[in-house]
Structure 1
Amino acid sequence: MLSFLKKVEEITFKHSLISGFIFGVISGFIYAPFYYFPLILTFAIFLYENLKATSSKQAVTFGFAFGFGHFATCLFWVKNAYFVFDNPDLQLIGMFVPLFFGFWGSLFTSILAYITYKCNDKYAKWLCFTGFFGILEWVRSWLFTGFPWNPFGSALAFDDNILQIISIIGIYGLSTFLMMFVSSFALLPKKTPLIVSSCIMISFFGFGFLRLKQNPTYYIENGPLIRIVQASIPQIEKNTNKEKALHEYIYLSRKDDEEKKVTHVIWPESAYPFWIEEDDFYRSFLLRAVNQGGTLITGADRKAVDEKGNINLYNSIVAVDDFGEIFLTYDKSHLVPFGEYVPLKDKLPFGIDKIANGFADFSKGDGIKTYEMFKSPPFTPLICFESIFSGKVKNKDYRPSWFLNVSNDAWYGDSAGPYQHLIATKLRATEEGIPVIRASNNGISAVIDAYGRILKKLDLDKKDYIDTPLPMKTLYTTLFGRYGNNVPMTINTIIITLVICFLLHNKKNLL
């Protein structure tokens, strides 16, 4: 490893911008569905280059280029949404979307590179790099409304054992310790950091192995029998042939259910293709989707008039009974910028518009809620990317028995996006100790237990359904579920405090 790093140093010393970009691009393949785990050592190269940099400019240049390449690569698939419709203006914007994410991500890696460079000791740099990496990843989850896609720790999501630790320290805590381990390779031939961080990661694996072994999946006795419907209708077809799309969902909702045992049918985000509260004719068709006494829960767009007489549009989840009456409504509260609304719309150039359908921006709902429903324990609905926000997926005063995540990843086609979205949902289940029922239009629909195990799933573009009883949540609230991201931020604060103490100690010795 040491000889390899020296060769890297020779190549990159005079070409920080190019080499940083190349290593950043390579690092983008450590996440789902690729999981090329050895490529994670590119982050060791990041720290190694920082250690060898002769100026802050050189360190920041490499950090900027690395972050640009990393985020532009692992989020390259987002551009697909801009090419669904034959709209040259949207397609032109779509070509620049990866560049936008590259610049956005490079903001964090540039700051990380600068702060790390300012430490004048090798061990202090290592701990500083680790601690501030974890803090900046958390900042990424809320800055500018937040977009915490692909947290670093999710590179380990292929292994359920090591993921169990996030029930205690959260995904940002796992990101911190994984970075501590990976970046320790940059300090070779000094072996102590590598040995210490390796022992920590091994202990995480051991904890997870025992936790899974001692906790098999249990289902709620005499609970609901849920059917998840995945119709896999192309996005363009959903908009041009709405009646056909509706009949596809109805057909799959009742298929092979001769004994009429299904109690709850789940459709994905925006699966109902008409305005749910206005089209009584088409809403009457929903009676065919459920058994007597059953419930249909579907994603749907709806209109509502506020007290000022303004028409507001909502991306919603609605529950419909076997009489076709709506008895529950949840409006999405964390909207996608430029997907469901345009920030600062009045100040942007003309022609900039949102991707999702409708003649106006969607409005924001009232926030995450827990609902009670007939023949079902309490649940919390999450629409689309609301499931990616660690520590922000439930009402802290009312712990639900299950999460319902509906999504429409058909916008992104056969790309890495749907796989990474599934992993984000898996992380929330593991952190909170709460199972997830996930319905996505073209996949990947899944049943995930309270330990993050994917029990059943429908692959991308498969037209089918899943019948499942409801897995039980963990008996006790997880540590992370109780304290949220206060846990990983406390860990990172301790690490940064150690850095400060280390630097002060060295300064005192020099005096």
Structure 2
Amino acid sequence: MKTRLAWLARQVTPVFAGAGITLASAPFNLWPLALLAPVAFLLLIKNLTPLQALIKGWLFGLGVFASGASWVYVSIHVHGGTPVPLALLMTALFTAGLAVFFALQAWIWQRFLNGYLWLLTWPALWLLMEVLRSWIFTGFPWLLLGTTHLESPLQGWAPILGVYGVSGLSVVAGLLLTWGLQPHWFHPNPKWQLKLSLPFPPRQAVALGCALVILVSGLPLAQINWTQPQGEPLSAGLVQGNIAQQDKWDPAKRQPIIQHYLNLSKEAGAVEVLLWPETALPLTPGQAQPIIDRALQQAGEKAALVTGLASRVPDQPRFYNSLVTAGQAEEVYHKVKLVPFGEYLPLEAWLRGVIDFFDLPMSSFIPGPQHPANLRVQNTSVAPLICYEVAYPDFSARQAVDTQWLLTVSNDSWFGRSIGPLQHFQIARFRALETGREMARVTNNGITAVLDHQGQIKDRLPQFQSGVLKAKIQPRTGNTPFMLFGSWPLLLACLLLLAWRTLPGKKTC
């Protein structure tokens, strides 16, 4: 019996260790766990064979995504109409598939890197695997370790290194801290008891000192303003319609939805810019133009309006997910980073029509141009980001160059009252911090907010309520180091480090 319990404990431990990353993220925000979870992962695979490490890594990844990304069940079952057993199976396959990235990380470590400068190679491998997960098969840049440090002292590094760089620093600091306190855990035959040797021996004291330096170094960096205010703030009205997802594409509900947006926009009064969320109206731009004109008349002669709409591709039964401006300038931005299965269907010829989930409304979008132009709103340049696009750090940074503020629109009602929308909001806040730009975030049912250039909340609306947020958006000029260089210098450094690991005499920390 004891043997079985011990075996079960060994299998469950990596799952709980992985769940620590979810607890470090919004809405729990226990960011110190982001220092410890990667260390626990390393220690769990330390003395295993590559195959054993792969299994443990998969269990760790399962803990990350089963706890932190299983909110996809809401869209699959509630909005996709998939029966509960099949929805649970699809959610399980989704999280199990994502866990493969951590399995691959563990296998690579044990096969090629274990014992070689682990203090540097483990953070480098972690960083590279986050980048791979953010890129392959269009990417899933969610639950990145760096994002959890939005409220930690490491936040000051975000405009310099970006989210991947903060992830790497987090892993280094966690390793130094743990080794400094419990060095025997890193021995070939570790003893897992907790014990402190006071006063600390010199090497441990140095490790703890370095960990402290890394953690507090972000505090003075956070006081640097990489960008500067430019011109007067814009008065804005951010409209949160709170339209039920099942009503949005119902033709019988179309007129009430239109009237609801007009009524809310009227509440905003005279503003310089009205902002509506992603696919706010179940109309194409041509159909929506009379409604937009009425809203502009209510806002004043010099007002502008920006709204998300589905715009038809000429001569095709396809759509773009678009942002449309109206008023003094009329421009269109088409979403580039589409959500698989939500906005387009991989293997469409095989999957379309199999179950209702594969026939969701508006699942026939195509991506816009890879290098889109920015939008002009009230003589300011705006970096547009539609929903999931805000999760891509380098894409967002490229969008932000030569702009004065960020605008992201979303419809997080696909994920109900889960933690998904709260994680999405945390990610958006990190993009504002990385780019030193204020951000207006407009969503269907929350979280609608205006963020300052350090990702802090200036004002917001409650979730799951319709309303209008009247706020000021301060345009800013200048570029952060991360906007200028992106993640490439870090990626190259990590690749060179892992290639260098085989040189003789490099087997200690």
The two structures share one fold, judged by TM-score above 0.5: yes
Aligned: 1:201 with 2:226: no
Aligned: 1:357 with 2:369: no
- For 2:235, the aligned partner's letter is L
Q: Is the 8 A contact 1:304 1:311 kept in 2?
A: yes
Aligned: 1:170 with 2:184: no
Q: Is the 8 A contact 1:117 1:125 kept in 2?
A: no
What secondary structure does 1:73 align onto?
helix
Distance 1:349 1:327 in 2: 35
Distance 1:281 1:465 in 2: 21
* Deviation at residue 410 of structure 1 after TM alignment: 1.1
Question: Are the structure 2 counterparts of residues 368 and 356 from structure 1 closer, same or farther at C-alpha, using a change threshold of 3 Å?
Answer: farther
- For 1:48, the aligned partner's letter is L
- For 2:160, the aligned partner's letter is I
* Deviation at residue 416 of structure 1 after TM alignment: 1.1
Q: Is the 8 A contact 1:450 1:472 kept in 2?
A: no
Which residue in 1 is equivalent to 2:425? 422
Question: Are the structure 2 counterparts of residues 461 and 321 from structure 1 closer, same or farther at C-alpha, using a change threshold of 3 Å?
Answer: same
Structure 2 residue aligned with 1:270, among 265, 268, 279?
279
Distance 2:62 2:289 in 1: 49
Structure 1 residue aligned with 2:61, among 67, 72, 86?
67
Which residue in 2 is equivalent to 1:45? 40
Which residue in 2 is equivalent to 1:312? 318
Instruction: Provide, for residues 86-116 of structure 1, a one-character-per-residue CA deviation record: whole Å limited to 9, x for no partner.
Output: 7235x55532343233223322211221222
Which residue in 1 is equivalent to 2:264? 252
Deviates more, 1:76-85 or 1:336-345: 76-85
Question: Are the structure 2 counterparts of residues 374 and 135 from structure 1 closer, same or farther at C-alpha, using a change threshold of 3 Å?
Answer: closer
Structure 1 residue aligned with 2:130, among 112, 134, 137?
137
Q: Is the 8 A contact 2:280 2:308 kept in 1?
A: yes
Identity of aligned residues (%): 25
> Normalization by structure 2: what TM-score?
0.85
Question: Are the structure 2 counterparts of residues 468 and 500 from structure 1 closer, same or farther at C-alpha, using a change threshold of 3 Å?
Answer: farther
- Structure 1, unpaired ranges of 5+: 1-9
Distance 1:74 1:405 in 2: 23
Which residue in 1 is equivalent to 2:331? 328
Question: Are the structure 2 counterparts of residues 30 and 65 from structure 1 closer, same or farther at C-alpha, using a change threshold of 3 Å?
Answer: same
Question: Are the structure 2 counterparts of residues 205 and 12 from structure 1 closer, same or farther at C-alpha, using a change threshold of 3 Å?
Answer: farther
Distance 2:428 2:343 in 1: 21
Deviates more, 1:117-126 or 1:150-159: 117-126
Distance 2:282 2:298 in 1: 15
Aligned: 1:298 with 2:307: yes
Mapping for residues 404-443 of structure 1, pairs under 5 Å: 404-443=407-446
Question: Are the structure 2 counterparts of residues 479 and 405 from structure 1 closer, same or farther at C-alpha, using a change threshold of 3 Å?
Answer: same
- Structure 2, unpaired ranges of 5+: 185-203
Structure 1 residue aligned with 2:386, among 383, 386, 391?
383
Which residue in 1 is equivalent to 2:91? 98
* Deviation at residue 438 of structure 1 after TM alignment: 0.8
Distance 1:273 1:294 in 2: 23
Distance 1:59 1:128 in 2: 16
Structure 1 residue aligned with 2:486, among 484, 487, 490?
484
Question: Are the structure 2 counterparts of residues 368 and 387 from structure 1 closer, same or farther at C-alpha, using a change threshold of 3 Å?
Answer: farther
- For 2:311, the aligned partner's letter is R
Question: Are the structure 2 counterparts of residues 381 and 168 from structure 1 closer, same or farther at C-alpha, using a change threshold of 3 Å?
Answer: same
Aligned: 1:182 with 2:174: yes
Which residue in 1 is equivalent to 2:201? none
Mapping for residues 145-156 of structure 1, pairs under 5 Å: 145-156=138-149
Q: Is the 8 A contact 2:232 2:475 kept in 1?
A: no
* Deviation at residue 39 of structure 1 after TM alignment: 3.9
Paired residues, what number? 479
Distance 1:372 1:255 in 2: 25
* Deviation at residue 379 of structure 1 after TM alignment: 0.9
Which residue in 2 is equivalent to 1:340? 343
Distance 1:385 1:407 in 2: 8
Distance 2:109 2:6 in 1: 18
Distance 1:178 1:59 in 2: 22
Instruction: Provide, for residues 262-321 of structure 1, a one-character-per-residue CA deviation record: whole Å limited to 9, x for no partner.
Output: 01100000112222324666555444553222111111112132xxx3233111111122
Q: Is the 8 A contact 1:71 1:105 kept in 2?
A: yes
Q: Is the 8 A contact 2:333 2:375 kept in 1?
A: no
Distance 2:497 2:215 in 1: 16
- For 1:426, the aligned partner's letter is R
Q: Cα RMSD (Å) of the superposition?
A: 2.9
Structure 2 residue aligned with 1:239, among 218, 239, 249?
249
What secondary structure does 2:380 align onto?
strand
Question: Are the structure 2 counterparts of residues 315 and 12 from structure 1 closer, same or farther at C-alpha, using a change threshold of 3 Å?
Answer: farther
Which residue in 2 is equivalent to 1:7? none
- For 1:277, the aligned partner's letter is G
Distance 1:455 1:225 in 2: 13
- For 1:230, the aligned partner's letter is Q
* Deviation at residue 433 of structure 1 after TM alignment: 1.8
Mapping for residues 441-456 of structure 1, pairs under 5 Å: 441-456=444-459
Question: Are the structure 2 counterparts of residues 434 and 103 from structure 1 closer, same or farther at C-alpha, using a change threshold of 3 Å?
Answer: same
Question: Are the structure 2 counterparts of residues 430 and 398 from structure 1 closer, same or farther at C-alpha, using a change threshold of 3 Å?
Answer: closer
Instruction: Provide, for residues 26-83 of structure 1, a one-character-per-residue CA deviation record: whole Å limited to 9, x for no partner.
Output: 5422210012345442332211122233x22222221111111211210011221123
- For 2:216, the aligned partner's letter is I
Q: Is the 8 A contact 2:124 2:168 kept in 1?
A: yes
Which residue in 2 is equivalent to 1:6? none
Distance 2:401 2:32 in 1: 41
Which residue in 1 is equivalent to 2:505? 505
